[in-house]
A and B are shown apart, each in its own frame.
Chain A
């Protein structure tokens, strides 16, 4: 279980997270929604220790990771996989080297088994026979899928998705959504996604949390969010240009 307790983070004068409280249960898929620049990715980076909070705690299985040193953080990250917004594949490496990097560097298995895992993971995301291709030759959707294969290569307990469907056509976006659901069902992964794509959020989530002005203002099942009384939530999920979010300039 992941608990985020009263998390605060500022960059210079700009307060991004202002007391976030959130719990992510084991095995569930929780999606954090909110406007661009609201701090969703910043929150995600706190969960995996890429950013340290100004105050507050991120507790994973009863351990406060905000106090972790470098070596404890390495052990923690072995339990995570992350899909980045732009896939963040290493340009200089082939697909095979990208997906197998963690396995090879951590000497988890011998080379033959690593190759089998790479083929298997690429198969799980619907790609095969592209092991020797460089990322520059792949389409946006294929890059995301390779990024997803890399994220699950080490069989993580937790997978973080940063805008998994942004920049994809609706059909490819749905394919990614299906993959996320499939991975959750087959590998029992705890997933945390951040997105402003409501179609994706409704489809993949067990619960949805809305981040607004640095705080979580509502958490609930997709149905509860859809029927929310909050005008802020309603404006966002229905994509209305006029409403409390855009009227409030503070």
Chain B
């Protein structure tokens, strides 16, 4: 097969997958009003995606904040007064690190689990079984996960922001000879509500991406255990790429 034919084949597959994804998103949007029929499905997913992800998000955030403080202090040496350390940590965490790292951690944990669960349901014909019972798998499986994603990611992000700033504070006070007042005053000094909104807009988008890509890859699963493995990997990789691309796009729109 020539390189041209291979590229053409890949291009056609890509466009076809994009079409399938668009159809899934459209069907999901149409089914969102029906969420009131099964509110428990969404609350279960909120628990799985949000509450159960909390320990991992807190662990990641503590060290994100701590490392940010150490790195910022290193770069400030002899150039910038240390009272701005809190500003640097706060800005970096609220605008960028909080939303993006939380999303990447949740993509690894929850996106993979969604793809694996739906993929297993696909290969064991459970999704076909739903259809034969005249139940729409999109309404039943995708919508609750999407809603849980767009609700819980911002909540997790706010918690991550707070914990990360706390991590930075601990490092600043214990290892960088800064008082907690100076550090927190620095955080407050240039705090802008727009930064927080930008971070939250990002996290809503990331929550949607993680859920939709996880579901999409799950629905496309073929074969057995090997197919589920491929779908899980693809879900995490694709979600992570889309999170970073969306992060750039939103940053350009808001701050560009």
Q: Is the CB of B134 within 8 A of A88?
A: no
Inter-subunit contact A86/B132 (CB<8 Å): no
Taking CB atoms, residues of chain A closer than 8 Å to B136 are 70, 74
Contact A50 B133 (CB under 8 A): no
Q: Could you tell me if B132 and A101 are in contact, using CB atoms closer than 8 angstroms?
A: no
Cβ-defined contact, B129 with A74, below 8 A: no
In the complex, are the beta carbons of B126 and A105 less than 8 A apart? Answer: no
The residue among B38, B124, B125, B132 with the most chain A CB atoms within 10 A of its own CB is: B132
Tell me the smallest distance from the CB of A58 to a CB of chain B, in Å: 15
CB distance from A221 to the nearest CB of B (A): 29
B124 touches A88 (CB 8 A): yes
A184 at the interface (CB under 8 A from B): no
The docked-state distance in angstroms from the alpha carbon of A99 to that of B37 is 19
A160 to B133, CA, bound (A): 12
* Chain B interface residues (CB < 8 Å from chain A): 37-38, 121, 124-126, 128-129, 131-136
Interfacial residues, chain A to chain B (CB-CB below 8 A): 45, 48, 50, 70, 73-75, 77-78, 80-82, 84-86, 88-91, 101-102, 105-106, 150, 154, 160
9 pairs of A and B residues whose beta carbons are closest in the complex? A88-B129, A77-B134, A88-B125, A102-B133, A82-B132, A74-B134, A84-B125, A88-B126, A78-B134
Residue of A nearest to B132 (CB): A82
Hey, which chain A residues are within 8 Å of B134, CB to CB? 73-75, 77-78, 102, 106
Minimum CB–CB distance for A86 against chain B, Å: 6
B89 CB to nearest chain A CB (Å) = 42
Whole-angstrom CA separation of A86 from B128 in the bound complex: 12
Instruction: Jot down 28 A-B pairs with beta carbons below 8 A, ordered by A.
Output: A45-B128, A48-B132, A70-B136, A73-B134, A74-B136, A75-B134, A77-B132, A77-B133, A77-B134, A78-B134, A84-B129, A86-B124, A86-B125, A88-B124, A88-B125, A89-B129, A90-B126, A91-B126, A101-B135, A102-B133, A102-B134, A102-B135, A105-B38, A105-B133, A105-B135, A106-B134, A150-B129, A150-B133
User: In the complex, what residues of B have CB within 8 A of residue A82's CB?
Assistant: 129, 132
Contacts of A50 in B (CB 8 A): 128, 131-132
Distance between Cα atoms of A82 and B125 in the complex (Å): 11
Docked pose: A78 CA to B135 CA in angstroms: 10
A45 to B132, CA, bound (A): 9
Closest partner residue, chain B, to A76 (CB atom) = B134
Interface centre among A70, A85, A88 (most CB of B within 10 A): A88
Docked-complex contact A88 and B128, CB < 8 angstroms? yes
Q: How far is the CA of A150 from the CA of B126 in the complex (A)?
A: 13
A131 CB, nearest partner CB in chain B, Å: 18
Q: A116 to nearest B CB, angstroms?
A: 19
In the complex, residue of chain B having the shortest beta-carbon distance to the beta carbon of A51? B128
Give chain A residues whose Cβ lies under 8 Å from the Cβ of B37.
105
- B42 → A minimal CB distance (Å): 15
Contacts A78-B134, A89-B129, A160-B132 known; list 11 others, CB within 8 Å.
Answer: A77-B133, A84-B128, A84-B129, A85-B125, A88-B124, A88-B129, A91-B126, A101-B135, A105-B37, A105-B135, A150-B133
- Chain A residues whose CB sits within 8 angstroms of the CB of B135 once the complex forms: 101-102, 105
Q: How far is the CB of B178 from chain A (nearest CB, A)?
A: 50
Interface pair A77/B126, CB less than 8 Å apart: no
Q: Looking at the assembled complex, report how far the CB atom of B65 sits from the nearest CB atom of chain A, in whole angstroms.
A: 36
Residue from A70, A89, A102, A150 with most neighbouring chain B CB atoms (10 Å): A102
Q: Who on chain B is nearest to A86 by CB?
A: B124
Q: A80 contacts B125, CB within 8 Å?
A: no
**A70 contacts which chain B residues (CB < 8 A)?**
136
Residue of B38, B126, B133 with most chain A CB atoms under a 10 A cut-off? B133
Expressed in whole angstroms, the Cα–Cα distance for A219 and B63 within the complex equals 71
Q: A105 vs B121: C-alpha distance in the bound complex, in angstroms?
A: 19
Complex alpha-carbon distance, A160 and B134, angstroms: 15
Question: In whole angstroms, what is the CA distance A89 to B132 when docked?
Answer: 13
Contacting residues, chain A, for B131 (C-beta < 8 A): 50, 77
- Using Cβ atoms and an 8 Å threshold, which residues of chain A touch B132? 48, 50, 77, 80-82, 160
Chain A residues whose CB sits within 8 angstroms of the CB of B124 once the complex forms: 86, 88
Nearest A residue to B37, CB-CB: A105
Q: Which A residue's beta carbon lies closest to that of B123?
A: A86
Name B128's closest neighbour in chain A (CB-CB): A50
A162 nearest CB neighbor, chain B only: B125
Bound-state CA distance A82–B38 (Å) is 24
